[in-house]
Structure 1
Amino acid sequence: MSVAPITLVCLSLATLFVAALPVWLYRRLRAPYALDWRDTIAGVAVFAFFATVIERALNDYVLHQNAAFAQVLANPAFFVLYGALAAGLCEEIGRYIAMRIIARRVAQKSGALADGPALGYGIGHGGAEAWFVGVLVQLQWIVFAVLANRGDLEAHLSNLTLDSVLRVHLILASLSPFFAGVFALERTAAFVFQIALSVLMWRGVRAGWKGIVPLAIVVHALIDVPAAVYQARLAPLAAVDGFYVVAAVVVAVVLYRTCRNERRVARAA
């Protein structure tokens, strides 16, 4: 089999866009919001540890090692509930810990705390998700597509089982320009949500509100519900992605306006 050149080009462009988005936004906001690279690195570290290590370990235990939990989660409703809460619980606890540390450091430098640390952290957290979940995965499929077009794919998959090889071929057969567009939209929406969640957590931590962690977990879970519904095959991909695109546009507009107003207040102070 082979992947159409137009599909390969579209997938490459979409992957490049997702990879460049966090870098571009950091450079764009660095001066206006006095972003600190340490906040961004903290976001990357929190996602890498809490999402790719702790959350995956939790999922492996619940879904594969605990028969009782696995049986309960065979029910689509419970699967959706678990899938939405697991990511929110792990990531928001990590985000809260990081924000507390950042708030202490920033408070020692200045009394007026604008949203710069939250934006810097959110770019790191969301950017890490964009790279780990999106860019690196798509680069793998681009390489597989190139190998397939050259007729070298089977040789590179010789160490895999027959089921794994068939899965690779099925995914390659499903690639299309539409798939590339959906990928770019999904990752961009997720990036926007991660920045918004970071600003939400930052403002809660800054205000000393103890309820910010439960609220952030619930909000994060609600964001993940449509994706979990799709994974449980309870809704079509087009409906889920349509919801995410509309929600991301609304969140981006609100985020822009609130952060801009907060920066003005901080400057006046």
Structure 2
Amino acid sequence: MHVDPVTLVCLSLATLFVAVLPITVYRRLRKPFRFDWRDTISGVAVFALFATVLERGLNDFVLHQNPATAQLFENPLAFVLYGALAAGVCEEVGRYIAMRMLARRGGRLPNTPVDSTGLAYGIGHGGAEAWFVGVLVQLQWIFFAVLANRGELDTHLSNLTMDSVLRVHLVLATLSPLQAGIFALERTAAFVFQIGLSVLMWRGVQAGRKSILPLAIVLHALIDVPAAMFQARLVPLVAVDALYAVVAVAVAVVLFRRCAPGRPARAV
């Protein structure tokens, strides 16, 4: 097993880009939007708890441990519906709870822009996703690729089953510069979506709209539908990524136009 050096370099650069993206965005927007670091930490904590613990635990039970539901969701359409809704419900409930708590907190700096909390929280939530779902996973594959090129991979994986070893080899064999670019595009789009959803949720909470939670769940689910359809082998990856790229650009444009730092925050 050998991974082409060009592929390894491209994957490393894509991983580095995803890793520094949330940090760079936070540093660029911190002063004009007068960010409170606690808002960003809240986003990180909510994603870590609701997405990596609760959602994964739910998925493991529903899709693997429970025979009845596991059989039900073998149907591609049922799997798509469940996957989109599970992600939407878990993450948006966590986001809503956090936003309600942040809205009650006082001590904000004077003339803080109205969307400061939503943006700061979104960078934390989206940044955590970029690292947990993207960077850490890709670092593992980069490590495996280096071991493979040294001829040490099988020795390192000696404690795994043969099926698991074969899956690792299969993934390494499919790595390419194109996949590195797709990875960077997907994680960037997801980061933009998380910021957009956070700003939307913050504005809804500030306005006292009880409908903001179901609206956010539906929007989040709709965003996850193409990815779930790809996992169910209903649509090709190129179509999913093209759609995400277009929608992410549109969301970024709306955020740029609507989130002006000159607007003072309303009293909570």
Shorter-normalised TM range: over 0.9
1:246 corresponding residue in structure 2: 246
Aligned match of 2:53: 53
Deviation digits for residues 27-63 of structure 1 (CA, Å, limit 9, x no counterpart): 0000010011111110000000000010011111111
Matched residue, 1:90? 90
How many Å apart are 1:72 and its aligned residue? 1.6
Task: Tell me which residue corresponds to 1:211.
Answer: 211
Report the TM-score when normalising by structure 2. 0.96
- Structure 1 position 67, deviation (Å): 1.8
What TM-score comes out, normalization by structure 1 length? 0.96
The 2-side partners of 1:268 and 1:194 are apart by 23
Residue in structure 1 matched with residue 186 of structure 2 by the alignment: 186
Q: What amino acid sits opposite 1:234 in the alignment? A: L
Distance 2:205 2:262 in 1: 20
Structure 1 match to 2:41: 41
Cross-structure match for 1:170: 170
Runs of 4+ in structure 1 displaced over 3 angstroms? 106-113
Q: Which amino acid aligns with 2:137?
A: V
Helix, strand or coil at the partner of 1:114: coil
- Please report how far the alpha carbon of residue 265 of structure 1 lies from its aligned counterpart in structure 2 after TM superposition: 3.0
Contact 2:34 2:112 in 1 (8 A): no
Q: Partners in 1 of 2:59 and 2:164 — Cα distance?
A: 21
SS of the counterpart of 1:233? Answer: coil
> How many Å apart are 1:267 and its aligned residue?
7.5
Instruction: Quote the residue 1:236 is aligned against.
Output: 236
Separation in structure 1 between the aligned mates of residue 265 and residue 52 of structure 2, nearest angstrom: 38
Which position in structure 2 is the counterpart of 1:266? 264
**Once the 2 structures are TM-superposed, how far is the Cα of residue 104 of structure 1 from its aligned partner?**
1.0
**Structure 2: distance between partners of 1:23 and 1:6:** 26
Deviations 1:141-172 (A, max 9, x none): 00000011111111100000000000000000
Give the equivalent residue in structure 2 for 1:124: 124
Distance 1:141 1:39 in 2: 32
Contact kept, 8 Å, 1:107 with 1:113, in 2: the verdict is no
Q: How many positions carry a matched residue from both structures?
A: 267
Identity %: 72
Equivalent residue for 1:30? 30
CA distance in 1, matches of 2:114, 2:263: 8
Q: Kindly tell me: are residues 23 and 178 of structure 1, through their superposed partners in 2, closer, same or farther at Cα, counting changes over 3 Å? A: same
Q: Report how far residue 68 of structure 1 moved.
A: 1.8
CA-based RMSD of the aligned residues comes to: 1.6
Q: Which moved more, 1:107-116 or 1:247-256?
A: 107-116
Measure how far apart 1:112 and its partner are: 6.5
Query: How far, CA to CA, are the matches of 2:166 and 2:91 in structure 1?
Result: 34
Structure 2, gaps ≥5 residues long: none
Q: Counterpart amino acid of 1:198?
A: S
Q: Structure 1 residue 81 and structure 2 residue 81: aligned?
A: yes
- For 2:12, the equivalent position in structure 1 comes to 12
